[in-house]
Structures are given as C-alpha cells and as structure tokens.
Chain A
Amino acid sequence: MESFAQNPSQLHAQSHLQALEDESIFIMREVAAEFERPCLLFSGGKDSIVMLRLAEKAFRPGKFPFPLMHIDTGHNFPEVIAFRDYRAAQLGERLIVRSVEDSIKAGRIVERPGQDNSRNRMQIPTLLDGIAEFRFDAVFGGARRDEEKARAKERIYSFRDSHGQWDPKNQRPELWNLYNGRIHKGEHIRVFPISNWTELDIWQYIATEQLEIPSIYYAHRRPIVIRNGLVLPISDLLPALPDETVEERTVRFRTVGDATCTACVESPAATPWQVIEETAVTRITERGATRVDDKVSEASMEDRKRAGYF
C-alpha cells in the first residue's frame, strides 16, 4: 500500500483529490439545477462534513439551494450532535431535524426490544416520512462505494420508487456524467456525490481543507470493553455486560453511527495526518472495524437499502 507524506503541500499536488472534488461538485450542481426540492442529509459525521465543504465549493458565494436534514436516531454521540448544530449555524444554512423518538411516540415505528437493537433500520420510516413531509425529490447522502459491497454496486443517482425502495437488479444505466434525474410524482432519487471517494481520500481532504470534525474522531481516553473482537465504547446506551471488564483506553472513532452498535479503534492518532498514516496501512475496513450490525448476515446492508435506507 501507499505511504503518505505528512507535508500538506505535497498532498495539494495530488491530482486525484482534485478530480474527485470536481466530480462531486459537478453532481451537486446537476441536482440543484434539475430537481425542484433537493435536500442534503447531514449527520455531523466526517463524510457529511466533507459534503458540506463540497456544497460550499459548488454554490458559494450563493446560499445552498437546499436545506440540510438530520434523522436523529436518539442514539447519537453527544459530541456529534453538538457539532452538527454548530456547523449548520456557522454556515448559516437551514437544518431540519426529524427524530426516531418522535416516530416511535407517534406509533410510526414499533420498537422490538431484544431483536434489532440498532436504530439503523428503525430510522428508515422516519427518513421516508421526512422526505414525504417536505416532498423532497432528491436526497444527497454521503455514502461511499468503498464502505460496503452493496454500496459498491449502487449508482450515483440511485432511483427510489414511491416506497423509497432500491432495486439493485434494475438500476438505470449511468454513462459518462450524464445523470438521468427524471422521476414521477412520489418517487425520488438518492444522490451520492462522494461515491468514488475512499476513507483515505476523505481523511486527506479533511487534512488539506483543514476541516473541523467532532473531537471523537481523534484519540481520546474512553471506557471500553472488547466484545467479539470489537472495541466498544461504554455508555448509558451501550452498557457493559455483567461478565465484561471495563477498561479505559486511548481510542478514536472511524465512523460515528448509532452509539449502541458503533465500535471504536485503539489509536493514538490525534491529528488528521496521523489518522492518514494509520488509514493508509489499516487492514480492516471502516465498517468491518466498527459496525456490529453489518455482520448479521451476508446481505444486511443490501436488505436495508431495499427497504429505503440510504
């Protein structure tokens, strides 16, 4: 694998980041021009933070031609929620929050305690309700194709039927950069402008653009347990089991998803450059190291996406 220099000016010269950035900006502008009511899903995570920078590059000095939306699972890391609000305010852009808790209270979602404890699947109805409420016809997501094998198959413009479902066996051809955004009423398109970015690209971009990200992406001390080989952060949402010993370790997060099922990794990396060095040599994917729920079956991501997940 590659090794990366720590000198920022050398990274600026990396033409592949420029190519990726241009591709993403082009996609965002295309959506803004062709859809009536787009929105951008912003979670406060690193990929969606990169998306906001790309949106600035695409639309400044204008305002974003779409609002931001967060589907709050209620299982978030507090640092991430704080960052979400801080960043939206800093940009002066509108942030819509719809929460899974509200959907549960309204009886739109029934919790199944003991079964699928994660809110990855449970947020689907809230997301679809949010899309319907604002009649969004295009929804930007920060998913990347290197994350997961079903995502590796998905188009940049991912057509969703009136139930929000993805049909992986019948995707529209997508040649060159000619995206077909035509839909009927009630249907929408999920758009993934950073499809072709890898985790390493994201970190290089964070470094070269000097993007602020939530502190938990960098090394910090935290109580953890080791479960099934994963380093789990212990909190009210994720208590230790009776036979587990809680230890304090220096860790960082590679993703900041659902706090009940997102693992961290042991790491001393305290700067983006140190994270880049680790990322360049890691032997485990972002999801493999951090997502408890994806291991459930060979096709859990595909199944969620078919049901309307992004």
Chain B
Amino acid sequence: MDLLRFSTAGSVDDGKSTLIGRLLFDSKGVFEDQLEAAERSTVNRSAGPIDLSLLTDGLRAEREQGITIDVAYRYFATPKRKFIIADTPGHEQYTRNMATGASTADLAIILIDARYGALVQSRRHTIIASLLRIPQIVIAVNKMDLVGFSQARFDEIQRDFKPFVDQMGFTGVQWIPLSALSGDNVVTPSAVAPWYTGPSLLEHLETVEIAPIDVRDDFRFPVQFVIRPNLNFRGFAGLLAAGTLKVGDEVLALPAGTRSKVKQIHTHDADLAVVSAPRCVTVLLEDEIDVSRGDMLVHPQRMPWVKRDFDARLVWMDATPLDVTRPYLIKHTTRTVRVKIAQLLYRIDTNTLEHVPATTQQLNEISRVRISAAQALYLDSYDANRTTGSFILIDPLTNATVAAGMVVADQPGEDQGVATLSRIDRAAREAHNGHRAQAILLAGTSRDAQSQFAHALETRLFHRGAQVLVLDSESAKGDVAVLTATVRLLLGAGLVALIDLPLDKRAERDALRRSLGADDVVEMLIEAPEFTANSDFQRPVLADCTIGLRRGGLDAATAQAVTWLADHGLFGTHRVVSPGAGI
C-alpha cells in the first residue's frame, strides 16, 4: 500500500488542527480513549460538543494558549492509502515548525478562513510550500458554515488568491470549500453546498497522484557510514538518494575522483543485483579506493556540480538574524563543512514577491544568497534532487539550526560562451548607465506586431538614456545555450536586452528564466488583437506585464511599457520583479 505524507498550512486559527481532528474522527482514525480525553478536557474553544483540535494539540502550552506551537504527527489509513499527517502551527513565530512539517510532505493543505480570505501568513506558507517543491496542494476554504456555504464568497476568495497560487509552479492545485466544524466536504461530500461538485478532502487525498518528486534520476550515493568488520568486507553504507545502481556499474568517488566498479550491493536480507532510490544499501567496490563518510559515489558521466561557491534560497529560522561576517556550518547530505554567506543577494517580500535589497535576514525571512564553503560540496539544484539540493545551516557556537536552504538551478557562470576578462563588474556598469541590466522577453500575439514593438521600444528606451539592444532569437537557431550565453554577456555588460521570441518558444523562455536568474528576466506580453487573425493564442502564464497594442498605437504602447519598467525599478535600485519564477 502506498504512503502519502501531507502537512497543513495557513494562518493562525484558520482551523488546521480542527480539520485534522475532523478528518481522523470521520474516517474512524481516532481511538476511543483519545476522544474521551478530548471530551474530558477542560478547554473547548469550538462551537461543537468536542474540540477536535485537542486531538493534535498535545502540549500543555498549546491547550492553554489555544494555538498550535509545534508539529504534531498523526497516522491513519484507509483501504486505499496510508497517511502520515504533519499538523503544523499557523502562528508566524513558529513558521520554522511549519517548514519542518512541510519538508517531507507530498501534499500540503493550505487553509483559508472563509471570512477573511487569504492573509499574509497564507501567502508566506504558500511560498514556503512552493520553495520546498511540494508538488500537490489543496486550498481548503474552511469555516464555510460561517458564510452560509456561499458560492459567491468561495469564488471571491478564489479570484483573489488564485493568481498568486498559480505563479507558484505547483503540479496540482485542488480548491475545496469545507467546514472542519460540521464536517462538510471533509470526508463526506456536502449536501449544503451542492454547487461544489469536486471531491471531498479525503477522496482527494486517497486518489491524488503521488508523482515522483525528483525530476532527474542521475545516480547519487552520499556515503554515510563505512562498515568494515574484517579485511574481506569494506562496505559503504548509505541512502541511495537518486537513480539506479547495478552490480558492475562504473562509479566515480568524489572528491578523490577515482573510479571503480560495483562488486556487490549488500543488504542484511539479501544481496541485490540492482537497486533504485530511495533505499538504504551497502555498496562494495572492486578496488580498494579511499572513500569515507561525506564522500559521494556518482556515475562518471552524470556528475553533480562540484562547487565551493553556489547560490541558494534560504529560509532563516533563528531569532538571531543572519550575520554575513560570521562562519556557519552547512550540513549537506552526509557532509558538514564551514561556510560563509558571501553575499546576501536579496530578500523576497512574501506579500508582493518583490526582491528587496537586504543587508541582513531576520527570523522567517526568505532570501537568495551566495554561499562560499570551505570545501567543495556535491550539489544538484533542489528542483532536480531534494537530497543533494537541500541543506541546513548550523550556528557553530549555539549549535542551533538557523536556516534551511535550497540550491537554485540558475547557478552563476554555468554555461558555455565566451568569457570576458573585464575588471569592471556589472554593478559598476549599472551605476554608470543609470539603469539595471535587464533581459526583457517579448511575447506577442502577432509576430509582426511584436517585432514592430521591439524596435519601437528599443528606440524609446535609447532616447530615455538606456543602453539597449534587440536580439533576434531566431538567429540562435534553437540553440538555447547560445541564446542564454549571449544574453548573459549582455547583462554582464550592463545592457537592456530585448529578446524577440516567438510566443510558442516555451522551452527557450523557461531556459532563460532558469539559467539567468529570476530577477534578470521579465516577460512582456504584447496583446495585439487587431493584428491577429486567429484570437485563440496561448497566453504565457508567466507574463509579468501585458501591453495592449492597437493599430497606429505603437507610441502609446511603448510609453506604457517604459512606464511599467520604470515603476518596477529599471532606472532605480530595485530589480524588475518577475513573480513567476521569482521565488
């Protein structure tokens, strides 16, 4: 039977614990003595006969204060699936505990109080769920009983919050109106909300597809422990983090760089001929090569990044803010080494998703940083591999876990292209030019209108004093690497690059976004219905701004574009915001 791990999220008092209580209660997942204890309890904050939140709020302080402080883990099973639930706190102060519960989840239920709609904390938790790449989310609009199960109210909340959620890149999003108090749509479909025809929460949990989380399956084996009982057995024990390993496979040991072949894949039960992640095994090699804890076995052709300097997103989890002058310890796979935060690149405003310049990072804040480690780490992006892309930071003095980190896909200086020898850096050029270096991806509903617009915008920006250049993406002949390398070169030179890309070149758009860094790219949709023969074009989801273009209206359209760019900091110190890949 398969196992679904899910966690709750949302603002304080939205009803997360009550919902879990209701789910357990109605699916017969509560034991009689647990129920009795809840009934006997001296507190009951609910309007019902039993306060179902007491089934998970197990600490004295939680009962006294009526809030959840730390994650509660609960277990239940139906004939279809087995579930591990992490009920997490909504209070801002305990966001790190929410992250703890969410880090291993396949699905997150984000609750919203039907009376208040999405609040700041709902957004923060949604961002964290997205950062952690939880593939599936449920947006549970709770307390529908208090708004008379009004469809209008549900629709209104959805209209307000959906654009934000849709930018987050979740694989699946299910919206469910429900009441944890009355049980409507929790286990059984609601009779009082006939307008909702989707599944109940439990039905959805039982049937939602658990997609493999890691997109890449390159073999990664961080060595955890060496088992060497005698001279004939020298096994490297660990958790196969990704990929498949067969007896006879050639492997490369990092950092030594030595190669050997797999002689035996040992488990206590039986030797295996082949094993796939995630499994704990002990690997024996043909040759006596030097391997110890913290090393990694990989396939020689499928190497991870071997890097000391890399970019990552960081969720700060300690009351003492980040201090860029201090050393920290990073624990990454089975390796712990000293690091410094070489650069705090920006902080993400969790309300607007804007990238804000920052000199420090406080509790619960999310940032992008450049990390410099004392020794090389063997990294993949978190998108590609949850294990080799994640890490924690530890304060070496207090031993506290101060941050959780995720390696980003767009590492500085990744792909080919001609290197520059320039000693003048981008920031200096930007200061000199009086504007940011910026890639602007144009997407037009009409190719013709788009290219007219590109030239007109170039001229207007140029007259405004910007160093700007239009790139003909088609001359790259579909070579994404060439295109990104060229754009990177232009950005390094402090220029504004206008990239005239056909609307359907989704792969190029994604690649540019990924490899250039979210803040370097902005997507501009040119909506020109009068130019378009057929109007059923595919609107790019990630467009940051939309410019309407009428016949003879190039001037007005480019003026609108320049205003938008200026408003979003092209000529100032703020980067242009691109919400889509912005977190």
Contact = CB atoms under 8 A, between A and B. Distances in A.
Does chain A bind chain B?
A: yes
Interface of A: 1-3, 14-16, 18-19, 21-22, 25-26, 29-30, 32-33, 56-63, 145-146, 148-150, 152-153, 155, 168-169, 171-178, 180, 182-184, 195-196, 198, 200, 282-285, 287-289, 298-299, 302
A2 B75 CA distance: 13
A203 to B, nearest CB: 13
Interface stretch (B29-37, B171-179, B556-564): B29-37
A180 B399 contact: yes
Contacts of B84: 196
Contacts of B399: 180, 182-184
A113 to B, nearest CB: 28
B187 interface: no
Interface in B139-174: none
A92 to B, nearest CB: 12
Given A58-B237, A175-B99, A302-B59, A14 B1 contact: yes
B257 interface: no
Contact of A3 (B41, B79, B390): B79
Top-8 shortest CB links A-B: A288-B33, A149-B58, A175-B103, A182-B399, A62-B229, A57-B268, A16-B3, A25-B280
A22 B239 contact: yes
Nearest to A288: B33
Interface string B75-91: 10111001010000000
17 contacts: A2-B82, A14-B1, A16-B82, A21-B280, A25-B280, A26-B239, A149-B59, A153-B58, A153-B70, A171-B70, A173-B404, A175-B392, A177-B104, A183-B399, A184-B399, A285-B34, A302-B59
B317 interface: yes
A108 B184 CA distance: 56
Contacts of B331: 178, 180
A282 B400 CA distance: 41
Interface string B20-33: 00000000110111
B58 A1 contact: no
Contacts of A283: 31-32
A48 B582 CA distance: 48
Nearest to B404: A175
A152 B58 contact: yes
Given A33-B334, A60-B268, A302-B59, A173 B72 contact: no
B484 interface: no
B401 A299 contact: no
Nearest to A174: B100
B386 A63 contact: no
Interface of B: 1-3, 28-29, 31-34, 37, 40-41, 55-56, 58-61, 63, 69-75, 77-79, 82, 84, 96-97, 99-100, 103-104, 224-225, 227-230, 233, 237-239, 267-269, 278-280, 293, 317, 329, 331-332, 334, 386-387, 390-392, 394, 396, 399-401, 404
Nearest to B279: A22
A63 B229 contact: yes
Contact of A196 (B37, B70, B73): B73
A284 B75 contact: no
Given A15-B3, A16-B2, A302-B58, 8 more contacts: A1-B29, A2-B77, A26-B239, A152-B74, A174-B401, A196-B84, A198-B75, A288-B33
A62 to B, nearest CB: 4
A56 B280 contact: no
A174 to B, nearest CB: 5
A288 B404 contact: no
A177 B331 CA distance: 11
A175 B390 contact: yes
A195 B269 CA distance: 23
A289 B33 contact: yes
Nearest to B43: A298
A178 B390 contact: yes
Contacts of B104: 176-177
Given A145-B73, A149-B72, A175-B392, A33 B293 contact: yes
A263 to B, nearest CB: 12
Given A150-B58, A173-B317, A302-B60, A180 B227 contact: no
A150 B56 CA distance: 9
B389 to A, nearest CB: 10
A190 to B, nearest CB: 16
Given A288-B33, A288-B34, A180 B392 contact: yes
B14 to A, nearest CB: 20
Contacts of B334: 30, 33
Nearest to B54: A149
